[in-house]
Amino acid sequence: MTKLVSRELKATRLGFGEMLVELGRENPNVVVLGGDVTGSVRTDLFAKEFPDRFISVGVAEQDMMCTAAGLAVAGKIPFASAYGEFATGRPFDQIRQSIAYSRVPVKICASHCGITVGPDGATHQSLEDMGIMRMLPHMTVATPCDYLETRKMIRATMSWNHPIYIRFFRDNTPVFTDDATPMTFGKANTLIEGKDVTVIACGLQVWESILAEEELAKEGISVRLLNMHTIKPIDRDAIVKAAKETGAIVTAEDHQRQGGLGGAVAEVLAETIPTPMEFVAVNDTFGESGGGAELMMKYGIAKDDVVRAVRKVLKRKKG
């Protein structure tokens, strides 16, 4: 495995915006819905090149989701996007009935997810979005770890004929995957091999975990790192394998600890191979204003928290 280094800082949301334009050029049926946050979620790029296929619905997320469903019924390929909470919690029942239950392949793409959205504060920090979306049958839930993976994911949605929710972020963050890094929905990506413990991370916590692994490696701890970019359907095989081979699991996410990635992994382990686990996640609290990095530290989802969690779970690991 090549060493994972940050080649540049680039926003995941930009990967979304750029790829939308590419897909728009390739497929005239691609349409994009705008909810008055176009510049933030970077659908401005698409809107500029394809004004006729950009449909503004105003600040009305419920309407947006169902309008997208209607466009799909008419044979279009709709992308609906907003900030994390307003793309999921606000129109939850709409997504549930008109997209998930109806099994309409709308692509719900949210930017500004998690606590790292920063200064906007709690109302804008979606910390429940993955959890609530993964509860919906028929729904796929995925979250890229960097700009390049975002591009791959957005492209992959074109042949993924299911309702899907993709979660990405505001900040410019390290780009450390490359064109060859695999991205298949539902298949965890082993970024680092290891045998003492497995860190299962998603989103921006993948990079935090890479940093943590470096530190732990120096202490002689061999960490396996999985990028669990697809929260649903979750890669049960990879989890069971990790539990069998490493005997201890840490999950890491920018999300509430209840119900999210950690919850999903705990559920799999409980019914297959019960294994000591530690959760790196926001601990049942709302966020607040601050810088993204500051908040990651204050709310316990940064590199150091992964390091601590690994040490803790190793103590619990059976001889």
Partner 1 sequence: MMPDNNPSQPSLTVRELPEMARQIRRDLMKMLLLSKSGHSGGPLGLSDIFASLYFHIMKVDPARPTMPERDYFFLSAGHLCPVWYATLARRGFLPIEELSTLRKINTRLQGHPAPAYTHGVPGIEIASGALGQGLSIAVGCAIGLRLDKKPNRVFCLMGDGELDEGQIWEAAMTAGHHKVDNLIGIVDRNFCQIDNRTDKVMELEPLPEKWAAFGWHVLECDGNDIEQFIETVGQAKALKGKPTVIIAKTFMGKGVSFMEDNYKWHGMPPNEEQAKQALSELPPTKFGDFIEFEWEKASIVAEVKA
Ligand X SMILES: Cc1ncc(C[n+]2csc(CCOP(=O)(O)OP(=O)(O)O)c2C)c(N)n1
**Which residues of this chain interact with partner 1, rule CB under 8 A?**
31, 34, 36-40, 52-53, 55-60, 62-63, 65-76, 78, 85-86, 90, 93-94, 96-98, 101-104, 118-124, 288-291, 294-295, 298
Binding to a second copy by residue 271, rule CB under 8 A? yes
* 197-201: strand order across its sheet: 189-192, 223-227, 197-201, 249-256, 277-282
Instruction: Give the nearest distance from C-beta 243 to ligand X in angstroms.
Output: 40
3-state SS, residue 296: helix
Evaluate whether 117 touches 167 at the Cβ level (below 8 Å).
no
Question: Contact between 90 and ligand X (CB under 6 A)?
Answer: yes
Q: How far is the CB of 90 from ligand X (least distance, A)?
A: 6
DSSP 145: S
Least distance (Å) between residue 137 CB and a second copy = 5
- Give which of 110, 162, 107, 101 is closest to 137, Cα–Cα: 101
Q: Convert residues 13-42 into a mask of x (bound to ligand X by CB under 6 A) and - (unbound).
A: -----------------------xx-----
Annotated catalytic residue, options 8, 18, 22, 61: 61
Binding characters for a second copy, 81-120, by CB under 8 A (x = yes)? ----xx--xx-xx--xx--xx-------------------
Is 279 a binding residue for ligand X by CB under 6 A? The answer is no
Backbone angles phi, psi at 177, to 5 degrees: -85, 165
Size of the site for a second copy (CB under 8 A): 44
61 belongs to the catalytic site = yes
Instruction: Tell me which residues in 211-230 interact with a second copy (CB under 8 A).
Output: none
Quickly count: other Cβ atoms within 10 Å of residue 3's Cβ. 8
C-alpha 124/C-alpha 266 separation (Å) is 27
- Measuring CA to CA, how many Å separate 266 from each of 33, 85, 274, 307? 36, 24, 8, 20
Binding residues for ligand X, rule: CB under 6 A, are: 36-37, 59, 86, 90
Active-site positions read: 61
